[in-house]
Amino acid sequence: MKKDILFIVVIGCGRLGAYLANRLSGQGCSVVVIDQHQAAFDGLTVEFGGFRVEGDCTEVAVLKQAKIERADIVVATTNEDNINLMVAQIARQVFKVPRVIARVYQPERETVYRVMGIETICPTTLAGEHLLGFIRSNPSHSE
Amino acid sequence: MNIVLIGGKKLVYFLSRTLISKGHRVTIINENHDECVWLTRQLNLTVIHGDASNPRILEEAGVEMADEVLAMTPRDEDNLVICQLARNHFKVNRTLAIVNDPDLEEVFKGFGITAVSTINILATIIEQRARFDDITNVIPFEEGKANLTEIVLHAGSPVVGKPLMSLDLPPDALIAMIIRRGEPIIPRGQTVLLPEDRLAVMTLPGTHGLMIRTLTGEAD
């Protein structure tokens, strides 16, 4: 593998995980996607040319199977906040992955971990802020 | 002590009962409503219904006043997040996470979270016991980097009747204490071992087997 090609491990192949895996693979990144359900990989399109690993991402052995120690970036997108937070920390601290980000739905939990120095993204606050902006810019609101 | 337990089933019930009987104040956080109702009927404690990995639920349980937080759910990731929230957000000094996947015991420690793998403890006990029936107790330290083993001497043991200084004991091993007819003795070089002595033996893994064989006279 040439070193200028980004190697990205996507944890969880749900809607977000599959979307990222398809897009990143289409852009020429080297992508491995992990999910414990075979059926989840149905979300991958013809755009995806990477590898799939079927297994439980909370098992260190499964992460090794995905060659996580060689990853440039790890994105944790399972639908469980706590799994994402744990796997992100394992990727960062055990496997020394340079950039790691975890999706966290619950805003309070996200705040605590951001303070701890773990990169997180919270769809709830993102959508919330976006919608608040939309509501504020609504002309019928300004009388 | 104020102790907050997170989890359910018999494990949390019996542990709470034991702690309460010793005079501790116990709060349980449990996600299953029926189990919460049942626990409040059985025991004199506070039960909070909810997800303990949510900071609001931990706050409701009064976690910032807790001396000890024990995360014992069947899900390792939940136990990690609960302990990290308790330590980092609520400044609880002592937290303990039970891990199912034994590989995670080391990993959690790397994150600053004390973790105990019941699988590792059981495996150690089973391994040691299977080899030597005389061993009644094994306590591993630092995931088995050192072991404290309790072992009973029989009349046929090659070390019986001899002072400790004359024994050819392996390095990295120590007879730390002798229990003789119910009385503890801290041994010295002149101490002579007798049949039915119960020894507390400190060993490192490399010499554990050799030390036990030296004391029992059993071949491997």
ipTM (interface predicted TM):
0.86
Please give, rounded to a whole number of angstroms, the shortest distance from the CA of A139 to a CA of chain B.
36
Q: Do B80 and A85 touch (CB under 8 A)?
A: yes
Stretch B153-161: mean pLDDT:
86
CA Rg, chain B, in Å?
22
Q: Do A58 and B77 touch (CB under 8 A)?
A: yes
Question: Which residues of chain A approach chain B closer than 8 Å at the C-beta?
Answer: 58-61, 80-83, 85-87, 89-90, 93-94, 106, 108-109, 112-113, 115-116
Per-residue pLDDT band for B130 (boundaries 50, 70, 90) equals low
pLDDT of residue A117: 81
Q: Do A109 and B104 touch (CB under 8 A)?
A: no
Q: SS3 of A95, please?
A: coil
| C-alpha distance from residue B19 to each of B67, B92, B148 (Å) | 13, 19, 25
Contact A76, A94 (CB under 8 A): no
Interface test with A, best of B77, B85, B101, B117 (most A CBs within 10 A): B77
pLDDT of residue B67: 96
Q: Do B77 and A115 touch (CB under 8 A)?
A: no
pLDDT of residue B139: 82
Which neighbouring-strand residues pair with A74? A9, A100
A104 vs A86: CA distance, rounded Å: 11
Task: Set out the domains of chain B in order of their start, with CATH numbers.
Answer: 2-118 (3.40.50.720), 126-216 (3.30.70.1450)
- Side by side, which strands form the sheet with A7-11? A51-54, A30-35, A7-11, A73-76, A99-103, A120-121
Sequence-distant contacts of B93-99: CB under 8 A, at least 24 apart: B93/B67, B94/B67, B94/B68, B94/B69, B95/B68, B95/B69, B95/B70, B95/B71, B96/B68, B96/B69, B96/B70, B96/B71, B97/B71, B98/B7, B98/B70, B98/B71, B98/B72
Question: For every one of its 143 residues, what pLDDT tens digit does chain A have, with 9 covering 90 and above?
Answer: 446 899 999 999 999 999 999 999 999 999 999 999 999 999 999 999 999 999 999 999 999 999 999 999 999 999 999 999 999 999 999 999 999 999 999 999 998 898 888 899 999 999 999 999 999 987 765 54
Asked whether residue B216 carries a pLDDT value surpassing 90, the answer given is no
- Beta pairing class for B2-6 and B68-71: parallel
Per-residue pLDDT band for B220 (boundaries 50, 70, 90) equals very low
Q: SS3 of B25, please?
A: strand
pLDDT of residue B121: 87
Among all chains, which residue has been given the structure tokens 């976690």? Answer: B63
Please give, rounded to a whole number of angstroms, the shortest distance from the CA of B112 to a CA of chain A.
11
Among all chains, which residue has been given the structure tokens 């937070």? Answer: A85
Task: Set out the domains of chain A in order of their start, with CATH numbers.
Answer: 7-141 (3.40.50.720)
pLDDT of residue B157: 85
Residue in chain A nearest B90 by alpha carbon: A112
Per-residue pLDDT band for B131 (boundaries 50, 70, 90) equals low
Instruction: Take residue B108 and report the two structure tokens written for it.
Output: 């959690």
Among all chains, which residue has been given the structure tokens 């937290």? Answer: B95
